[in-house]
Each structure stands twice: as C-alpha cells, then as structure tokens.
Structure 1
Amino acid sequence: MLQCNYFENRADHKFLFCVLAEKQCILEKKEYLEKLLNKYLDKQCTAEEVRYLLSHFNLPDQKEELQDMLHQYFEQEVEAGNVEKQLAEQTAEELRPVLLSKIRKKQPRYLIGKWIKLVAAAVVFLCVSVALYVFIPSRSEIRKETVQSAAPQKDIQPGSNKAILLLANGSKIILNEVKDGELARQNGVAIVKTKNGQLLNTSLSSASADTEMAYNTISTPRGGQYQVILPDGSRVWLNAASSLRYPAAFTGQSRLVELTGEAYFEVSKDASKPFKVSARGQMVEVLGTHFNMNTYEDEQSMKTTLLEGSIQIAYQQMKSLLRPGDQAKITAGQAVPLKISRGVDTDEAVAWKEGYFQFNHANIQEVMRQLSRWYDIEVKYEGKQPSKEFGGAIQKDLPLSKVLNILEKSNVHFKVSGKEVVVMP
C-alpha cells in the first residue's frame, strides 16, 4: 500500500502520488464495502458495520454502486450453483429499492432479517417440517425454487387507501372519491384530506369545555386502510374492516376514542388528558405511547401489543400495566380472560402497517382471515384441513394469485371463483 511519506519529499512525484494513492484508496474502500455487503446479506454484520454500510449508500451518487454490488453477489451464487440465474437477477433488482428505502430512513438496526424476507416473498421459499417460511436466504439457505404464475384469470388486487368519514351532523364522505383539501369545519377543527392518504384534523381555535361534544367516525371497508391524525396530533393507522369514533375536539378531562377492528396508535403526550381507547369491553389508558390493538370479532382473542411507553389495560375486574414488548391477550369466556405475554415479536403485531403479512405458528384459518379482510374475499373450506402451521412474511401489495401460489408450496390448495376462495387439502 502506498504511503504519503514515500513521496512527500519528492516534488517530481507529487502529482503521481496523489493519483495513485487516490486510486488505491478507492479500490480498498470498494473491496471493504463489497465484503461488508456480503456479510450484511449473510446476516453476519455487526451493528457498527451496518451503520457504516447504510451511511455510505445513503450518498446520492452511490445508488448504482449498490446495484452493481448486488448483481456481483448473486452472480457468485449462480456460479457456485446455489441459485438459478433468472431468480438471482430478479431478486437483485427487487432488493435494491427496498434497501435504499431503508437507508434513506437511516435506521441503525439490522434491517436484513425483516425487509429482505419481505422482498423475496413472491420468489423464494423454503419448507421446513410443517411450516412455510418466506424469506431471502443467506448463502447456505438459498434453494433453487421459484413461484410460478397463477392460471390466467382476472386477478384480485390488494387493498388500498379507502375509507368513509361519517360526520357528527350525519354527512357521509367517501374519502377515496373526493379531492384533496379541506372537507369540513366543526368545533374549531378543520378536517383535511391530504394527498398521501391521510385525514388530518387540525385545531383552528380552542374549543371551550362547555362546547357540545360532536363525534365523527372513520371506517375502512374490507380491502381498505387509512391514517388519521387526531386534533391533539395523535396518529392512528386503521387496518381493513375497522372503525374509529373520535370527538371533533378533545375538550373533556380525557381523550376518549372507540375502536372496532384493528389500529396502530402513536399517541401525543398530554399528562393533563390521558388518552383512552374503548374496544369490546376493554379500556386502554395511555399518556403518550405507541401500541397496536387487534379487536376483530372473528379472532379468538383480542390483542394489545406495546412498542413504546407504557399503557394500562382493563377488562372486567382485571387491570394490568404493560411495558414495551408486552402483549395483553383477552379471551372472553375463560376463567382468567386477561393474560400478559412478555417479550413478544412486536414486528408481527404491526406487520400489516408496514406493508406485509407476518405469520408465526399460524394455522390456515388465521392466515385466511387476514387475506379475506385485505383482499375482500369470501373464504370457504372443503375437506379436512391440514393441521400444519405457517410462518414467515408475504408482501401485501401482491395480487391474490401470487399470495396463494406461495401458500400452495406448503401442500394446501385453492380454488378461486370470482371473489370466493375455496381452501382444499
């Protein structure tokens, strides 16, 4: 390696030194980055190496370099006989935008475990025992298998941003059919639809405590989702087939909303007004925190999962305080209906918000309930259903046929007729 002091006293070589030293430095840096990227894809990077790698590719002129390195990585896998060429090229193309999207967010965490699983959901799979795992594999895990296209037919497309807003005065607004901009004003609050699929409730003036309470309700249909920003700045993501009833302005001693279905909350802090969520007999009380509530009536249990802060959950005569990583599960009819699990996989609880399905020891009925809500389909069952469990991640933006093709690799079969899907052994 060239050193600066080798040339520092030789003026005739000064320019030559600068050129050679710069080239040497570039080559060494590229080799190091290639080494780090390979470790990253093989899930062997340290946290410090991940930060360095992501910060480098966050530079505006490094996007093509990342693409070249990804192709080089998969070319080596093809040469080694670990993966077919077509699959390697497709995976490299799909992987780059996902990595770049995470790099732009500058998240100093090990992203590869979750996000590469997501990218390759439609192209790579591995069956282990009775579970289906959908993932992007490391060198030792790659398998020569691809998902084939479904039989030609009119495919069922995934859900999108769709919702209906019912105002306190009885007016109904179909949010996905109206133009962006201000929709209404009530109790000193402007209700605005934004271009990125949000409903913004902005306080224009302080409502007095004796102002009559006016409640609005936003509802998502099957195959819909929506984000609401409440008058206090709290954010709520509504999953499909869900609704949120909330006051036009928070004027009381607490901020009470009512939920059906599923929602993810990021609550603004206000120690003087606790935020409360009422859902099917349970009450969740917070000051400022992030949590997910799944209260669908067709699920066996209601689940509240805490990501940040702390919350108190009450059901019947039982109360419990949750810390980050805790999940409260309420199962009506049991002797002890409220149970707390510590250290759960919070990624699974909020996967729907991040754009994918994640299953962890889920049976076929659990899987199909999620699909039925997102794709607005009716599910029926024929014959004895297998007792196998499913695990892994699948993108939510795929047509239904591709999702069913992935699941069929675990020896379950489907017959689609219009909006009806029949599950067969």
Structure 2
Amino acid sequence: MKEKRLKYLFNKCFQNLATPEEQEEFMALVEDIANKDLVEQEMENYWNNFEPVEKPFFEADKEAMWFEIMQHGAVRKYKLWPRIAGVAASVIAIFLAAYFLKNDGKTELKEVQNDVAYKNDIAPGKNAATLILNTQGKTISLSDGNGGLIIKDDKLVYNDGSLIADLPPAESGQTANRKSDEQTIITPRGGTYQVTLSDGTKVWLNSDSRLTYSPRLNQQAVRRVKLEGEGYFEVAKDKKRPFIVSSKGQEVRVLGTHFNVNSYVDEVSVKTTLLEGSVRVSFRSGEAKAHNVILKPNQQSILSSSDITKKQVNAEAAVAWKTGNFRFENQNIRDIMKQVARWYNVEVVYKDELPGVRLNASVSRNRNISQLLKMMEQTNEVHFKIEGRRIIVLK
C-alpha cells in the first residue's frame, strides 16, 4: 500500500500536479528513513527513464535548487546509493524545487543569475602559488595554467612537463634532511595549487596555505613535511618510510593513505579527516605524555589547545574544496564566511550578531561571489552587501 502511494505521489510531484496536501504527504514519506529503499528505487527508475527537454535549467538554477532542498533536510536523512548519489541533486531538484520555492515564498531562481543584484562583484579564486627555493634564494611565481608542480630529483616541472627550474646536485656527503635544502610553496588568499612531491605523494593546497618540504623527500628515512593552512594529501605508499605532516601542534603519521588537514591560524581547532587507509594523529601538551588517536575512513580528529578527540563525519564534505565546491553541513555562518573570505580574498564585517544561523549547502566555488551570497540570502536568515572587497553581513 505504502509503495503504491509513494509511487503515485512521486508521479504527481514530478509532474508538478500535486496539491499542497499531497506535497506535504510526499515530503513526510521522503523524510522517513523507513522508506529509504523505496525512495531510492523510485529515484533510480526516474533517472533511467528521464528524458529532459533541452536544457530545462541553467547550472546556477540547479545549484540554487539543491541549496534550497538542503536547507529543508529532505535528502540529508540518509546516504544515497553511490551510483545515483552523483545525480541526486539534478533529479531531486527537478521535481522538488518547485515545492520549496513556491511554498516558502523564496526569491525566484532567475534572480540568482542576476549579477546586478549587487553593485560590485568579485570573481572566484584560481590556481595561484609562489615557490621559495631556500638553497638558491629564489622566488618563483607559478603559472596558473599548467595544472600543478612536480618535484623531481634534478628539476622542477609543471604537470605538462614544461621546465620551471633546475635543482643543484646534492653535495658529497650531504644528507637529505638539511633545512637549508627545504622548499616552500605558498598559496595566497584566493589561490589553490597542486604539487607532486619527489616520493610521488600528491598534495592539494587550499587558499592561504603553506607547505614546506625537502625536494629529496624520496631519499629520507622519514618523509616529513610541514603544513600551515589546509591541504589534502594522497600519500605514496612506502611501508618502510613513514610520512609525517606537522601542523599547528600536531603530527599526522601515515604509511600511505588519503586525508585532509585543516590547520588555519584563525580556526580554534585543527581538524584531520581520513578518506582512505589509517592514520595516527598525535600531539604533546606541554611536558605531558603525547596523546594519540587512530583514525579510520570517515573519521575526523579535532585538536583543541589541550585535548584531542575524534568523531564520525562525511569525509567528502571536508574535501569538497578540492573538487571545486563549498560543502556546508549544518555549519555556523561565521565558519562559512571564513571559507568565503579566503577563497574570494575579501574582508568580512558583521553588522549584526547571527549566533543561531546554520546552513546546509553544496555550491560551486567557480561562481562569482554575488551568486553564492544570493543563494544564502534565500534562506531569509542572513543578508549581505558588497563594498569593494568587503562583505557586510546583516540579519
């Protein structure tokens, strides 16, 4: 009986023919975890048979629809099948967005694309970084169009193979651990960059971050790097030589795995999130004994000034920035605006206190700032003004 009723309501909502009462009934069924399998089956059926008209929505429209749905929590109650999770935003947005936007009196979606809603606008960040070669006393502004930096034994090249600089040969008897040989790659506010270290480890740096490493990391018994800011690591596996990331009072020790470290100076804690493998996160409080936690996939450690804890999380949300997205899950507006400030290189000023404002969203980082702010304004919880490179936050 329930299956037939869900199918009936699914059809009515998808065709935008449901009455307000049917819409309410349908949403109640969707939000009930007991109906998880039925809902997913209907989603898959519709996706397999769906033939949309030519470009029914602009990309910004779909993002705005998904933003609205996230605010209501309708799809955060359970995890979708991996093979349909990627299309969930498009499918659900098509048949549910009309309900949310029509019944909640939100701003129409076409306004999201209207950049003149703000007198000023700010473009998103881009690939940008500076490389400091300590041995040569040289600073290099890295290209934004070559994909990333690769460290080799005798040279530095871009991902496309083009030469950046030759490295001097190691002196006779020189160790691979000398600090004078270290290199530092720095991303500015509004910048991101990817680097492949000499041992094959890949690192993606978020905005306003700094990674210090040895160009001869592949020769070290212990591969050690230092991070300030945020970085996502795909560590090359080597059972004999551990890889250690030092950041803001903690060390992450691995043999080969995928994880993210958020260690910005203006954050109250250091967060390490594991996607694959296993890591040990440790810190030492004064002269006390070192504290350790072992993380498994989809776990996150939180290091405060005096303690370290761990919890279960959605790891994909923590690394959404790496794939070009903002992902907020019940996140405080001030924490959200810190991310916005770094990526768009802006100053954020609060005219009003907004202690209880928390948002859920998945939004592209490739949009101008006005489009992102407009989406957040649709919640009616917060409003913004752009004055030069300053964002004013209001109730």
Q: TM-score, normalised by structure 2?
A: 0.72
**Is 1:272 the counterpart of 2:268 in the alignment?**
no
- Structure 1 residue runs of 5 or longer lacking an equivalent are 1-37, 54-65, 73-87, 95-117
421 and 131 in structure 1: CA distance in 2 versus 1, 3 angstrom threshold: farther
Which 10-residue stretch deviates more, 153-162 or 393-402? 153-162
**Matched letter for residue 422 of structure 1:** I
* AA in 2 matched with 1:191: L
Could you tell me whether the CA contact under 8 Å between 1:233 and 1:268 is conserved in 2?
yes
- Amino acid across the alignment from 1:321: I
Shift of 1:384: 2.6
- 1:373/1:311 CA distance change after superposition, 3 Å: same
Query: Which of 284, 287, 292 is the aligned partner of 2:255?
Result: 287
2:311 maps to 1:341: yes
Q: What amino acid maps onto 2:182 in structure 1? A: Y
CA distance in 1, matches of 2:386, 2:165: 41
- What is the aligned counterpart of 1:387 among 356, 370, 373? 356
Pairing 1:4-153 to 2, within 5 Å after superposition: 44-45=40-41, 69-71=51-53, 89-91=56-58, 94=59, 120-122=62-64, 125-126=67-68, 136=90, 137-138=92-93, 141-143=96-98, 144=101, 145-148=108-111, 149-150=114-115, 151=117, 153=119
Which secondary structure does the structure 1 equivalent of 2:229 belong to?
Answer: strand
CA distance in 2, matches of 1:352, 1:202: 32
Deviation at 1:414, TM superposition (A): 0.8
User: Residue 325 in 1 paired to residue 298 in 2?
Assistant: yes
**Superposition deviation, residue 211 in structure 1:** 3.4
Cα displacement (A) at 1:153: 3.3
Is residue 399 of structure 1 aligned with residue 368 of structure 2? yes
1:176 Cα deviation (Å)? 2.6
Deviations, residues 79-135 of structure 1 (Å, cap 9, x unaligned): xxxxxxxxx7224xx4xxxxxxxxxxxxxxxxxxxxxxx982245542787889995
Deviation at 1:326, TM superposition (A): 1.3
RMSD after superposition? 3.9
Whole-angstrom CA distance in 2 between matches of 1:43 and 1:203:
58
Tell me the residue number matched to 2:8: none
Distance 1:391 1:348 in 2: 11
Pair 1:391–1:175, CA change in 2 (3 A): same
Q: Which amino acid aligns with 1:328?
A: S
Kindly provide the amino acid, as one letter, of the partner of residue 109 in structure 2: T
Where in structure 2 are the equivalents of 1:227-246 lying within 5 Å? 227-246=194-213
Of residues 295-304 and 399-408 in structure 1, the stretch that sits farther from structure 2 once superposed is: 295-304
Question: Aligned letter for 1:146?
Answer: L
The answer to whether the aligner puts 1:366 opposite 2:348 as a matched pair is no
> 1:139, 1:119 → 2: CA distance?
10
Q: CA deviation at 1:320?
A: 1.4
Q: Deviations over 1:42-74 (max 9, x none)?
A: 973599989x96xxxxxxxxxxxx9x92328xx
Percent sequence identity over aligned pairs: 35
For the Cα contact (< 8 Å) 1:222–1:241, is it kept in 2?
A: yes
Question: 1:165 touches 1:219 (CA, 8 Å); kept in 2?
Answer: yes
Quote the offset at 1:381 in angstroms.
0.4
What is the count of residue pairs matched by the alignment? 325
Structure index of larger Rg: 1
CA distance in 2, matches of 1:308, 1:264: 12
- How far has the Cα of 1:366 moved from its partner? 0.7
How far the C-alpha of 1:398 sits from its partner, in A, is 0.3
1:193/1:133 CA distance change after superposition, 3 Å: same
Give the alignment partner of residue 161 of structure 1, picking from 127, 130, 134. 127
- Residue 361 of structure 1 and its aligned partner are, at CA, apart by 1.2
Runs of 4+ in 1 over 3 A off after TM superposition: 45-50, 122-125, 127-136, 179-186, 198-212
CA distance in 1, matches of 2:345, 2:266: 15
Amino acid in structure 2 at the alignment position of 1:280 = K
Partner Cα separation in structure 2 for residue 124 and residue 298 of structure 1: 30
Counterpart for residue 156 of structure 2: 191
- Find the aligned partners of 1:256 and 1:423 in 2 and give their Cα distance: 41
Give the whole-Å Cα distance in 2 for the aligned partners of 1:410 and 1:235: 38
Q: Alpha carbons of 1:353 and 1:183: their partners in 2 closer, same or farther (altered >3 Å)?
A: closer
TM-fit CA distance, 1:396: 0.4
Separation in 1, partners of 2:150, 2:383 = 48
| Cα shift readout 1:302-336 (whole Å, capped 9, x = no counterpart) | 11011111111101120111111111111114xxx
Cα distance change of structure 1 residues 201 and 43 upon mapping to structure 2, 3 Å threshold: farther
Question: Which residue pairs with 1:110 in the alignment?
Answer: none
Structure 1 Cα separation of the partners of residues 44 and 377 of structure 2 = 40
Segments of 5+ residues of structure 2 without an aligned counterpart are 1-14, 16-37, 77-88, 102-107, 285-289
Distance 1:182 1:130 in 2: 39
Structure 2 Cα separation of the partners of residues 201 and 288 of structure 1: 29
Residue 347 of structure 1: SS of its match in structure 2?
Answer: helix
Distance in 1, matches of 2:208 and 2:94, equals 41
Matched to 2:298, the amino acid is G
Asked whether the equivalents of residues 71 and 89 of structure 1 are also in contact (C-alpha less than 8 Å), the reply is: yes
- What TM-score, normalized to structure 1? 0.67
